[in-house]
Chain A
Amino acid sequence: MGNEEIKTKITELLAASAFDESGEWLNITVSSQDWFSFASQLRNDETLYFDHLFCLTCIDFKTNLTMVYHLSSTKFRHNIVVKSVLDITKPEIETVSSIWQTANFHEREVYEMFGVNFLNHPDLRLLILPDGWEGKNPMRKDFEDPINMIKL
C-alpha cells in the first residue's frame, strides 16, 4: 500500500492524527490517550496489518519526551512511524506489549533510561540498570554523573 492509501485509511480510523511526509516513511503523530486503541487498529485491520514492531524508542527533546514506534507489515511490506509527544513532568503512555510482545522488553528499557511510565505494563521493572538504582534516568539530556562519565 502506498503512503497516500495508508493516509486515507488512517484518517478513517483516527481523524485527529497529524501527518509528516518529509522523511523516508509516513510519520503519524497521535496523542497518548488515543495511542492504545489506535495501535490495536493498526495491528488488526485487514488492509493495514502492521504486525511487526521493529523499533521502539524515546527521544528527549528537553521540553518534551517523544515516543517513536516503527511499524512494518510482514504481509504487505509497508512501513510507518508513529509518534506520541509526552509531558516531560509526567510522562505516561499506555503499554502496547499486549499487541506486540516485543514491546515488553523495549518499554522496560525506555522506562529505566527515560523514566516513561507505561500504564498497565505486565512487568515494569529494571532490566539493564542494576537493582536498587535510584536517581535520574541515564538517557535523559540533563543526566550528569561526574564519577562514571558517559559523555566523552
Chain B
Amino acid sequence: MVEEIGNTTEGDLIINVGPQHPATHGVLHLIITLNGETIKKVEPHLGFIHRSIEKMCESLSYRQFIYVTSRMDYLSSHINNHACALTVEKGLQIEVPDRAKVIRILMDELTRIASHELWWGAMAMDLGAFTPFFHAFRERESINDIMEETCGARLTMNYIVPGGLMQDIHPNFQKRVKDFLSLYKSKIHEYDELITGNIIFQNRMKGVGYLSPEDAISFGVTGPAARGSGVSCDIRKLYPYDGYENLQFDEILETAGDSFARYMVRIREMQQSVRIIEQLIDNIPEGDFQTKTKAVLKLPKGEFYTRVETARGEFGVYIVSEGGTTPYRIKFRSPGFSNLSALDKMARGEKLGDLVAMMGTLDLVIPDIDR
C-alpha cells in the first residue's frame, strides 16, 4: 500500500487511521500522508464490511430484498426500505393508500431525528465531550421505543414494503409520538447550551474542512454535507415523493461550507422534522395500510430509478428488470460513498487533529459506504 500512494517526499510521515479506530465509527481505513502535522493526502481504503448486497439482491425476490437494505444504512433503515418500496411500486404502477403514505413520512422523519441525534452525540464525543452522548440517547431511546412497539425492531425495521406497510401502527403510536415531541421540545435548548454556543467547540469547527459549492456538486456530495456549502439538494423538495409536496417545511441551507455550517444544518433539520411530524400526527387518514398485491411480484422489463432523501443525503435505487421475479441488476447509490470521496479534498492542508471534526460532520456510516 505504502509505495502506491506516490507524491511523498523525504520526511513525510504515513499513518493509518483505522480500520479499528473509534472516530471512524466502523471499520474504515484511512491512509494519511502527513508533513509535520499538516495533512497532505487522505486515502480511504474500503471493503472491511462489504457484504456484496447488490449481488445478493440478484437472487432475492422483490419482497425479500427489502430486508437486506435495512442493513445498509442502519441508521436510516426506514428510508432505505421506503426507497426500495417506491422503486418496486413504480415498476408495478401501483398506488399506495393515503394512510400508508402518511405513516411512511412519519416514520422517515422520526428516523431522521434519531439518526441526527446519534450523529450529534457521537460527534461531540469525538471532539472530547462525553456528556452530550447521554443527552442525545435519552431522546433517541424514546424514538426507538416507538419503533419497537410498531415495527417490532429497534434498528432494522423492515416495516415499509412494496404496496404499503407491513402492519398497521400500534394503538399507542400517536400518543407516544406526541409524548416524544413534548419531551424533545423541552430538551432542545440543552443542545445549544451544551455544544452549539460553546466557544471551544466553535473554535474547533469554524473554518475547518472547507468545501466549496462547486466541489460539493462535482464530488456528488449530497444531504446536509452539501447543504452546509449552500447547494440546494433536498430530494424531498426537488423531487417530492409520497406527499412531501403537501407539507410545510424549509430546506436548511448554510453558506459557510465549513464543519460548523454542516453541524448547524443538521441541528436545524431536526426542528424541521419535528414540524413535519406535528403536521401529520393528528391527520393520519383512516383506511387500509396496504394495497392488495399479488403474492409473487414480477416487474416488467425495463429500468427503474428512485431517489429519496436519507439522513445522509441522496439515496438512489436502480433496478434493471428482465421481467422475472428477481432483479437482473440492482444498484444502490449510497450517499456515504460519494460524501467520503470529498474527504481528501476537504482535509488537504488541514491539521491532523481536525480530521475528526471533518469526518464527524460528514456523518459517515460505514455499511452504507461499503454495501
- A residues contacting B by CB (< 8 A) are 22-25, 51-55, 57, 59-60, 68, 70, 74, 77, 81, 100-102, 104-106, 109, 125, 127-131, 138-139, 150-152
Q: A100-B220, A150-B56 are in contact. Are A55 and B303 (CB under 8 A)?
A: no
8 Å CB contacts to A: which residues of B205-250? 215, 217-220, 222, 231-233, 238
List 3 A-B pairs, minimum CB-CB distance, nearest first.
A102-B220, A128-B47, A105-B341
Known: A105-B341, A152-B59, A152-B60. A100 touches B218 (CB 8 A): yes
> Known interface pairs A105-B337, A105-B338. Does A54 touch B314 (Cβ–Cβ under 8 Å)?
yes
B220 and A54 form a contact (CB under 8 A)? yes
Contact A59 B329 (CB under 8 A): yes
Interface size class of B (residues with CB under 8 A): 35 or more
Contact A22-B302, Cβ < 8 Å, known A55-B316, A104-B341, A127-B47: yes
B338: which A residues are within 8 A, CB to CB?
102, 105-106
A101 in contact with B46 (CB, 8 Å): no
B contacts, CB < 8 Å to A: 1, 4, 44-47, 50, 52, 54-56, 58-60, 90, 215, 217-220, 222, 231-233, 238, 302-305, 307, 314, 316, 318, 320, 328-329, 331, 333, 337-338, 340-341, 345, 370
Overall SS of chain B's interface: mixed
CB pair A54–B316 under 8 Å, yes or no, is yes
Do B55 and A128 have beta carbons less than 8 Å apart?
Answer: no
Known: A54-B333, A70-B305, A128-B46. Is A101-B60 also a contact (CB below 8 A)? no
CB of A140 to closest CB in B, whole Å: 10
Classify the interface of chain A: helix, strand, loop or mixed.
loop
Are B217's CB and A51's CB within 8 A?
Answer: yes
A100 to B47 CA separation, bound complex (whole angstroms): 23
